[in-house]
Structure 1
Amino acid sequence: MSDPVYTHLLALIGTAGDLKTLRGLRDQIQRQMEARLTERPVEQLYFNLNGMHDALIGRVIVLAEAEMARSGNGPPPVPYAYLLFGSGGREEQTLSSDQDSGLLYGDPKDESEKEAVSAYFESFAVIVVDLIKQLGYPPCDGGVMSTNSEWRLSLSEWKAKLNGWFEDPDWERVRYLLIVADGRCVYGDPMLMRSFQDFFFSDMLQNPVIVKHMRSNTMRHKVLIGVFGQLLREEYGQDAGSLDIKYGAYIPMVNAVRMMALQSGIRESSTLERISGLVRNEKLSAGEGAEIAEAFRLFLRLRLMTTERSVDGLLSNNGKLAGGRMSKELIDELKSGLRIGKRLERRVNK
């Protein structure tokens, strides 16, 4: 069901001319959504949340292009695609989100223009990242950012980098490949992203050794349910008694579904869309797909319950659900969902 207030605020984002207005609109939408967390289906909540994040980032990019023009750099010299990775790439961002980004741009027709094009997008990325930071999105701790030259490349440079990662797949490079697998274009030329994905999947599917390395990297986060069906909660510190929803439920299922999807050549980045793709490709039965999707929806809902408002008004999320918030009914739901996650984990390992 459409929400006229949300739709109106989203339209205002698309015409906002300054950062103060954008920040006010983000706060308005988030307050509205916080108040309705228990009323809306989880997929609708995430659809609206990620629609907001996408709209804000897209508008910031428009403002950054204008700033580049005002400073004498002119319009973008070649087509480009601004990329999101992580939960942003999967369209699974919560009320809080950091910046996991990259930049892909077309190769100039004249080789002599290569340095000037690179310099343009270096300056452009700095403006974009700074503006997004001012909207309340902190930079990625791991440095996966469009301001990092490793994640800001022309199409030919990206292809060369991917080749290098595939040819020498150490742990870190395989981690980068898995990050790239979750990427999507949030603004810019979608055809550039399609060319990028064509290359990624052709390389990966022709290299069976990569699949083995990816599986090893993928399964490092385990579902937090014990051999006797008990929840494996935090034992010490200020989070004692809590359950790590992010790394003990959500991420293991994201990783397992991604692994199966990549082996099947499924290009969707959303976990629920990947599950649907696995059913279409007959890698999962309809019953298995429905069971896994239902468990994943539970984990998505619980992730929203771990969000807290900080002193400065920003939202943060440590991914841990306090023991006091877990009713007997919820614990039973969790155990059921985690058992499904454990079975999926075993399937991928085999």
Structure 2
Amino acid sequence: MTIADAGTTQRLRQIREEEQNRLREVLSSSSVIELMRDLNDLHDRLIARAVKLAEEEAARQGHGAPPVPYAYMLFGSGGRSEQTMSSDQDSGLVYEDPPGDDEAERARDYFRFLAETVVRFLIETGYPPCEGNVLSSNPEWCLPESGWERKLNTWFEEPSWEHVRYLLIVADGRTVYGDEAIGERWRARFGRDVEVHPVIARRMMENTLRHKALVGVFGQLLTERYGESAGSIDIKYGAYIPMVNVFRLLAVRAGIRETSTLGRIRALRAANLLTEQEEKESTEAFALFLELRLRAVEKDEEGQWIGTGKFPASRLMPERKRPLKKALSLVRKLQRRLERELRNRFGGGEHH
């Protein structure tokens, strides 16, 4: 039975576990970039099927069919096509503006029911909800196009730390199910607004540089010093996230619509904003971070993969240490370049 034939979330979960175990077994012998492509294709198909099952559930419960076209969006690692075997849900929903007030109320009720059902179905499939409540079941993230327009306006015009964090989240948004044109209109709107709000670039940069690459002045790896993770390298927040942040900001400022980090690196090279050598080194560094992230997992009591984000330095093979130090030094160099630019353009890189 394929994903398209799966009629229950239990079946979707079973397929997910079987496929992830298969991919896990070939991790050592595969190209990590190809494996991530296969893994994220699996996630996309599972999530799209869960949305389809939620539509069928809405019809069964008397809510009918979707009253207007809509796009189910993924953010976070899902939006970037960089989900691991333990990623959570980061989602939103945008739907076409209904023609009148009665239709608007009906659409609001329908999509709230649909979104809540999708989130529940995905939890049952093994995707925990986002701890920050960036979820389509949160009414703040399930809106018609006009509602999203007002929200984006607010975020751009009042660039508080939280609003900028939301803008960085939506910069990674892509449609996983539904009407691609709605998702594209939504993304185009975001791109236009970035261009006309120069202060946003500064705020994004300040936010982006919060997580430093974990490499010392002399190129040494910086490990966790205390607690149960002592001696571990924080791959997620000390390597992967800093690199994601750097290339997201460079891409957003260049008007690049690509959402995956590797896609952004390629597009920046095509726009002559990276040298050929920088593209090669960045791709290699990111592939290494992806591989270590895929390995930084453990199984819980129910057999579900849980991402720790931490990789014990003692488990790092000597032949891996030098490439990791080189990769982290590259990220630190890119971060310093952005910091210099921040000071040159805005007269200081202080945080607010």
TM-score (ref. length: structure 1) = 0.96
> Pick from 172, 177, 192: which aligns with 1:187?
177
For residues 317-339 of structure 1, give each alpha carbon's deviation from its aligned partner in whole angstroms, at most 9, with x where no partner exists: 11000122112211111101111
Shift of 1:111: 3.2
Residue 159 (structure 1) aligns with = 149
Alignment of 1:141-152 (within 5 A): 141-152=131-142
Partner residue, 2:259: 269
Please list the CA deviations of residues 73-121 of structure 1 after superposition, one character each: whole Å capped at 9, or x if unmatched.
Answer: 1000000110110000000001111110111111012233111110110
Could you tell me which of 37, 47, 59 is aligned with 1:47? 37
1:249 maps to which of 230, 233, 239: 239
- Alpha-carbon deviations, 1:235-256, whole Å to 9, x = none? 1111111000000000000000
Structure 1 residue 226 corresponds to structure 2 residue 245: no
Measured in 2, the distance between the counterparts of 1:262 and 1:348 equals: 13
SS at the partner of 1:144?
A: coil
Alpha-carbon distance in 1 for matches of 2:174, 2:211: 24
- Compute the RMSD of aligned alpha carbons: 0.9
Paired amino acid for 1:15: D
Tell whether 2:14 aligns with 1:24: yes
Letter paired with 1:346: R
Distance across 2 between alignment mates of 1:310 and 1:30: 15
> Pick from 80, 84, 100: which aligns with 1:110?
100
| Identity %, equivalent residues | 50
Match of 1:303 in 2: 293
Partners in 1 of 2:124 and 2:69 — Cα distance? 26
The residue identity in structure 2 corresponding to 1:96 is S
Letter in 2 for 1:174: V
Q: CA deviation at 1:281?
A: 0.8
Q: Does residue 314 of structure 1 match 2:276?
A: no
User: Hey, what does 1:323 align to over in structure 2?
Assistant: 313
TM-score, length of structure 2 as denominator length: 0.95
Q: Secondary structure at the match of 1:239?
A: coil
Question: 201, 216, 233: which is aligned to 1:211?
Answer: 201
- Structure 2 unaligned regions, length at least 5: 342-352
Q: What is the distance in 1 between the residues matched to 2:265 and 2:318? A: 29
**1:259 touches 1:348 (CA, 8 Å); kept in 2?**
no
Deviation, 1:347, is 1.5
Separation of aligned partners in 1, 2:272 and 2:132: 36
Question: Which amino acid in structure 1 is aligned with residue 249 of structure 2?
Answer: M
Question: Is the CA contact (8 Å cut-off) linking 1:79 and 1:105 kept in structure 2?
Answer: yes
Which residue in 1 is equivalent to 2:124? 134
| Structure 2 counterpart of 1:290, from 276, 280, 283 | 280
Residue 38 (structure 1) aligned with residue 55 (structure 2): no
Pick the aligned partner of 2:186 from 170, 183, 196: 196
Question: For the residues of structure 1 that align with 2:13 and 2:160, how far apart are their CA atoms?
Answer: 41
